[in-house]
Structure 1
Amino acid sequence: MAVDLGTSRRTGFAVVVGVYVAAGLAAWVVVAVGRGGHPLGLTFWADLVATLVVFAASVVVGNASLYDPYWSVAPGVIVVAWVWWRSGGDLGAITGRQWAVLVLVLVWAVRLTANWAVSWRGLGHEDWRYVQLRETRPGWLPWWVISLTGIQVMPTLVVFGGLLAVWPAVTVTGRSWGWLDVLAVLVTGAAILVEAVADRQLHRFAGDPGNRGRIMDRGLWRYSRHPNYLGEISFWWGLWLFGLAAAPRWWWTVAGPVVMILLFAFVSVPMMDRRSLARRPAYAEHMRRVPALIPAPGRGSRMAA
């Protein structure tokens, strides 16, 4: 049974902070108990245990969105831990590539978490996709199973898969800085910028009462229906380039960004498009004019008057 903790933002954020501190402590216990094991394996189990703590809390408060910031919080913590472990806690021992990865990941993490915080209204606010899943699930399937596997554990595994390329990027230091690192910085930095600009443009559009019922077809959204998703996908490809630059034999970690493409292209984009179609019939024409993710020459929505 869910506990009613009210709907205020202050209460909600206090609960989130408390839960994430508890999740972090649980992850630390896993690492402490497994001391001596491979850091990559310990990170995986610590990540999974932290996810289970957040899941348990989400069941108690009756809101699966308690997990939402985990997508951006966990990677920053993990990368900091890996760099700290590899450098022995000596800031002077951190290489240029490690600094580049660390700074870019932290900028991405802080911005994305802040974006979530701005839009989250408290424990009374749950992502519409979760509400839809709860209402349309088969009667024989408990909600907690869907929440645990599809909403929380699955994204944790997907993100950890994306971070596999970061492991060699911040722990293998035998290769000097090269052109591939420069490309990685450009791709990752541009991805963060695209995602930030797209989110900002969307917030400003949605916050204008005069745009109620209209389709967002301005700025970056004129050329892509989901430029924020494009930025997110590109971010993980940029991290993979860092891993490739540090250790080419880890090329197989390309599976991480590939899974990101599949997740957004076949889950997130269709869900968002179906919702927009249901609310705005004219969105069908918008879909014909504007590509889902990658802008195409000659295609693009006409600017609204």
Structure 2
Amino acid sequence: MSRLTVGPDLVATLLVFAASMLLRNASVYDPYWSVAPPLIVVGWIAAAAEDGVVLRQVLVTALVTVWAFRLTANWARGWSGLRHEDWRYRQLRAQTRGRLPWWLVNFTGIQLMPTLVVFAGLLPGWPAVAGDRAVGPLDVLAVLVTAGAIGLEAVADDQLRRFTADPANRGRICDRGLWRYSRHPNYLGEIAFWCGLWLFGLAADPSWWWTLVGPLTVLTLFVGATIPLMERRSLDRRPGYAAHRREVPMLLPRPPIRRRIPD
């Protein structure tokens, strides 16, 4: 447990924060939280020395790396240079101007909090790479959940990208493909990814069951902050979104509700 430290992650976050202040752009942080996890996992494998099961270590490292590469590439597609700053950060800057110093808001709300949330989600990765139980059926389930989650995110992001790229869809609600059954299928995939990682940890060392706090922390962030923020924006910008919310579930998919046409 002494080798499980958040210190290097926090130091790196401080460096990224300093760069964001120098460049006056909080979005400098955006690629960091998806790049850091595979590096942390590799560091944990090195710290575990001869502990752990090699096959499980390879599986966990490969899946976390694929997740990180896909997510970072998805961010890069929407990045237009150092002048580009996420609309959420601009909104937060405007809402806190005159009440709180921007450096404090930037560090705590935009950079430190995501670092801690992602580290919490990654906690099951330690027993996953250091635990010595043989690979078994629970690992198979973990692979299916984690790989399926990455695929779900990839498909959902691609469908949304294609929808928004069509000028005819400006101001419209994406209700095609996976988005027909869930308002946020990409976020569902993200939450499922961390649940899959927890299954790896549980398979390797059941005494670390309490690292369930990791995926629960990620779930709390999405349900308590990220999704409400996105939904308020959609309610303001897209007519009919209130009705869309009544017909399509937030996360867990179900067939869309068919509105009854009056006789």
Is the shorter-chain TM-score for this pair beyond 0.5, marking a shared fold?
yes
- Structure 1 match to 2:44: 82
Residues 51-200 of structure 1: pairs in structure 2 closer than 5 A: 51-87=13-49, 95-137=54-96, 139-173=98-132, 175-200=133-158
**Residue deviations 1:90-149 (CA, integer Å, cap 9, x gap):** xxx961111110110000000000000011111111110001101111523111111100
TM-fit CA distance, 1:39: 2.4
Unaligned segments of structure 2, at least 5 residues? none
Q: Following the alignment from structure 2 to structure 1, what is the Cα–Cα distance between the partners of residues 104 and 11?
A: 16
Q: SS at 1:217's partner residue?
A: coil
Q: Following the alignment from structure 1 to structure 2, what is the Cα–Cα distance between the partners of residues 253 and 287?
A: 32
Amino acid at match of 1:280: R
2:53–2:130 contact (8 Å) kept in structure 1: no
Amino acid at match of 2:242: A
TM-fit CA distance, 1:277: 0.8
1:218 is matched with which residue: 169, 176, 181?
176
Q: SS at 1:121's partner residue?
A: coil
TM-fit CA distance, 1:209: 1.1
Unaligned segments of structure 1, at least 5 residues? 1-36
Q: Percent identity?
A: 63
2:17–2:29 contact (8 Å) kept in structure 1: yes
Q: Following the alignment from structure 1 to structure 2, what is the Cα–Cα distance between the partners of residues 76 and 301?
A: 43
1:194–1:231 contact (8 Å) kept in structure 2: yes
Greater RCO, CA 8 A, separation 6+: 2
TM-fit CA distance, 1:224: 0.6
- Structure 1 match to 2:241: 283
TM-fit CA distance, 1:299: 3.2
TM-score by length of 1: 0.82
TM-fit CA distance, 1:87: 4.6
Q: Following the alignment from structure 1 to structure 2, what is the Cα–Cα distance between the partners of residues 80 and 213?
A: 43
Q: SS at 1:39's partner residue?
A: coil
Q: Following the alignment from structure 2 to structure 1, what is the Cα–Cα distance between the partners of residues 236 and 81?
A: 26
- Structure 1 match to 2:198: 240
> Is 1:45 matched with 2:2?
no
1:222–1:301 contact (8 Å) kept in structure 2: no
Q: CA RMSD in A?
A: 1.6
TM-score by length of 2: 0.94
